[in-house]
Structure 1
């Protein structure tokens, strides 16, 4: 590579271009096959996507059928009618009808739900069609059925042990799918205007948005097999065109989802592009040689010089400058480079000062957020216990003094994991004296000396007591578990207080992950902690929430202790 010069590079360029022309025909064939394979793969993905939607629709319909089959109001409906007068019986029927109608209002795929009692032929449905009861009268078992070109899922009661004799069926719950919704799924199964798709139900009934070639339909009926595990693929040829056909069997409803795509229309643009490429490659050869000459004379040498200077800057030499003054665009570029490096040199000089100021500002902000009510309550406890429990007063005063001494010295004392846990211990000891709280702190002693960001653990503990334990009667336990997880420490703070639902945890996670602080004070503490953790230790250190074995909330974070070591080394080098 060291012997390569521009002359040899030109020879190589010509050789490479000729080789490209020689291999073009091979590439043409391979390209056509690749494109066709890509189209087939894309079609398979779209069929799989449409199939997944259809599976969810089938699952939704089955769920509604099972739900109302096992519903106590449905199961006891006829018995309750015997005990009610005509008005209450009608109101009972209206309530059940409203429930059925309301449950499918948000569904895009369910057209109607009906319940048919065989003993007296009574029928309740969300549909207003007076013929809606007809399909229910002949149901003898649960499962999917096609009635009048519509798909139904029927569920019968008794449900667990389906009666072998249809006369023993007490009532039937039916769920009817929207035919137009099934037709809309076909649009998701095609990938071009040259494609078409249709449903083949029971190998007899056809459902499609577009006309289907009868010859293709008959051929597909002969070739498809009921294999629900994979998408079948086969080719179809006639005198006019070539097609590739894909089929997916949906077993629960005994239906095939079929797509076929015309190959010729798709490949024609490729052939035209090949002809254009042949003419273009010759022009490129001539123009390329001229451009290479200009490139070497006016740009190549200057780019190499600029690359060399950038490498010096990358190594930390911010005194690097370019003294050449070429009579082209590189003159402004070199001037901008010199100006940029000078600015970088000045910025690095002020970066250390700004970093220290930012850390001091964060500490002062955290100190300003100390809850004054905590101090008031502690002092009132000392006053109330001064005569009856001198030992309690001594303990409260000791922990309160240590707690505030640590907070007021944050800007002058280095925070370690041990000191942060001691702060949490003082806080929990104070809370244990004021409230019936039991706590436990577990951590490996070898992690205690590692420096970490201050005021990370105590605010989470305070939040656990205020928003967890105090909001649940009988709650009284708090644990802090620190585990070694190379290259850092995993910190888990748990309580047995009021937990959160999955939706509430998701909302809390979104609130603390916002770039801007919450407008209200609710959540500002956790948002501040989460922001500081991510800025200092990366995204892996963001707060995570989960429900523990007590039913309360646990908060977890990961502290990468190796990053603190790197910051100390950088600070030592700057000094």
Structure 2
């Protein structure tokens, strides 16, 4: 369920991320395309403006260097009034000729400073006023009009300027210049204007937003080499602004475009996609809720009940009755657990009967020679050592009372070692045997299956000590680790060679008991340990520092999930 939710969330996030990236790339590509087109239009407009400037400059220089204009004042002194008027008309006609082929030139005028004479294509008497104060050539803005002035002499010596004799002025057509701005815009979402002398004069066919104009005026840089781009944002619109500085005119050619109009299709696509994502999210949450209610919750319930069964609770049942496929599954589970409960009850009864029979068999397998030898020892020592007879009788009585009255399947480690101690004490009275039992006090009450240590101790006496002359030591040590209990029974008898240890391990590892009587006791102990405490438990063999044999009874705690009982409560 978690993986499904994680995958669903990951899929949504991945889709949103990809859409966001694609949308950003599309917006950026479209904006770059628009800006590129706008720059080309602005450059095209500037090239036209450069041509107009060149034309005005050419006419100004042409008439300033014209011989008729240069010598007109001297000729007037020698000509009659009629001839003088005809000369004037000739010069004016020459001034009017450029206007016939040029829409960008509004008027051309010549003003002689010393005489105050003024010729112009404009008949307005006020037309000469802009010429009066001119002292140098170049572009000037006067009365909201743009002029190019050429003066004579047009070549001045450095440090020795000559007074200006006359001024030739070419006035540009303001309406034509404003109309030229249409070539610098894309469509209705764009606008262009001339900003002359920084921010003193604005030429535009459309009204320019005051806040935008103020922001543009603060951002402009007088760079005549390239078109500069600026961004402007207000509370509802986004703009990109292109500016080209025209140095001779001290004028900025500016075009701005509202990007919202161009990005509206992408914005609509974004909204539609987000709405689709929200719909998918809602549908996904509905599917997840439905899956959780109808499937996942029932699966979790089934898993919980299986865990309870695994832990030994066979009385658990599923009482829910869902209206789906799980109804039959829950009925099958309840039937299965009921059958298992019955089987375990039968198995428990059979196990108890089997253990009872096994216990009785173990009791019947007590070596009768041990009893005979003990009784003969008592008879032989009755007269010479009554104290030895009392000790022997006491240990023998305790030993057989423990064995004959054993009627349950779980004893303590302390009682099992007490039985081994009685056995070793009896052997020490009849033979030269020294023994030592090391049992930590905290382990004395540890639950243990009965008659599991005594056969190993008996084997150490019969096959270890009695097999080597002079051998007489037996030790029993108990140690505990986090996962096991180790009971080590060691003797200083003849021991076993490595090959003999390997053969002994193979013999007790078989599923069937070995033929004959040899090794049956150890095989029986090993099998009981494995059956009760798991396959990792059992007997292990090794040589000890005495040179004899050490037998390890390894009892491991079961760590597998679902063990019905603890290892030492079986």
TM-score by length of 2: 0.44
* Larger of the two Rg values belongs to structure: 2
